[in-house]
Structure 1
């Protein structure tokens, strides 16, 4: 049991270290020796867990996909689909700021062919956003002339923009930026009485 726990910790340390190196230097430039040194393990231990750099990057993206699922599936739906979407967008942008594994996983979408390539995190996020808007329409919260598909593209473009700009200036990943986006967009998207109940800064901000 102790050996299994140690193996799990080693694997997690390697994924974290790889994400940090990919985030800093890019996939192509990162070497496995650098990753093992950052993780504090031997090259042999790294190769025991991952046969190649591509396999290690695939594990980073798989871990990031799990964290994205936590964001999209973990929030309660009692406040309606639009509020769920607002809260999830805040959690995602905050995660892109603070969670190097999540950030590296999204970056790897644009990288080389890797194991699990069909698991594109940007596409996963876009599909979930469109589903949330479709649910909002069913709840009667979406303005009648707003297409869930078009609304999803707008949100996708905004979050992708925050992601890209945040790589140069982390202020773009601040809660205030996402709040400003929703405050501007919601009057166009939502109909009353749903609009008056929505919190552009996210319900997590109210709990503070």
Structure 2
């Protein structure tokens, strides 16, 4: 019972911190704002976290965990690497729209005064590159396509959507992402593979 209550308090603090970081940024966020948002005393916050950096690291860790879960779920039902790539970007956009912790995890990577612990953009880049490598092994990429350049293009665009989506959620909508892939996939996939992709 006590452990369950402590876990609920910790989760409430992480969610509150994500909300505060999202609204105020890391530099302006205070521990009092975070504890008040979670409905707990500053002392209860300090029981769980030593300082603001520790709270931010917990937000990043929670964001990384939820985004890895999303990626695993998409990957488990994949029909091809390119389909998984498009589906993963849609799932990532949905997570950023619906999950304040996922959004804050990405935002903390931009914060100058916060030494990021989990580089979510680099994780996304590695995942995109891995799927393009698998697509190459499946012979579904256009001949001669440079996987490194293709990964850079996809990551730059999708991270751009994440940034723009902070002010306008339409940038993270299914319609926007589907439009992006309708333009980009013909530059990546051979014609036969392209016909089998479902957006």
For the aligned pair, the TM-score class normalised by the smaller chain equals over 0.9
Equivalent pair of 2:81/2:135 in contact (CA under 8 Å) = yes
Aligned residue for 1:110?
110
1:41-190 pair list within 5 angstroms: 41-75=40-74, 76-111=76-111, 112-114=113-115, 117-190=116-189
Aligned residue for 1:194?
193
What stretches of structure 1 move > 6 A for 4+ residues in a row?
none
Structure 2: where are the runs of 5+ without partners?
Answer: none
Equivalent pair of 2:31/2:42 in contact (CA under 8 Å) = yes
Structure 1, 123-132 or 186-195: larger mean CA deviation = 186-195
Give, in angstroms, the shift of residue 197 of structure 1.
0.9
- Structure 2 length normalisation: TM-score? 0.95
Tell me the distance in 2 between the aligned counterparts of 1:179 and 1:78.
17
- Give the 3-state SS of the residue equivalent to 2:29 in structure 1: coil
Tell me the distance in 1 between the aligned counterparts of 2:187 and 2:165.
26
Structure 1, 63-72 or 49-58: larger mean CA deviation = 63-72
Give the superposed CA RMSD.
1.1
Aligned residue for 1:24?
23
Deviations along 1:142-190, whole A, 9 cap, x unmatched?
Answer: 1112111111111111111111111121111111000000001111110
- Give the 3-state SS of the residue equivalent to 2:109 in structure 1: helix
Give, in angstroms, the shift of residue 118 of structure 1.
4.8
Tell me the distance in 1 between the aligned counterparts of 2:26 and 2:155.
24
- Give the 3-state SS of the residue equivalent to 1:168 in structure 2: coil
**Paired residue total:** 197
